[in-house]
Amino acid sequence: MIEVKYFGAVAEKTKCEFEKLSFSKELSLQKLLQDLDEKYEFESLTFRVAVNQKIVSKTSDYTLQTSDIVALLPPFAGG
């Protein structure tokens, strides 16, 4: 089980601020992002991805571990 947190415009697409996802076989970060993109159609939305509070490359070769927390962080512009 992992937790995925959504912020800003990304959370508007997912219509939730977080969700817990379980996976049976090995799941890479790239695959997770691909699945989420298919589910929520992020399209042109820009965001950075953090795993356990650390921002990483979306293409990094990382296998998700149980209890990892992934966060999708788009830029904000208001002021």
Chain residues binding other proteins by CB under 8 A are 5, 7-9, 17, 44, 46, 48, 50, 53-55, 71, 73-79
Residue 26 vs 61, nearer CB to other proteins: 61
Tokens of 17: 């601020």
CB of 59 to other proteins, least distance (A): 13
CB of 69 to other proteins, least distance (A): 9
Those residues with Cβ within 8 angstroms of residue 33's Cβ, 6 or more apart along the chain or in another chain: 49, 58
Q: Which of 17, 20, 57 is nearest to 8 (CA)?
A: 17
State the Cα–Cα distance between residues 72 and 51, nearest whole angstrom: 9
Residue 23 vs 59, nearer CB to other proteins: 59
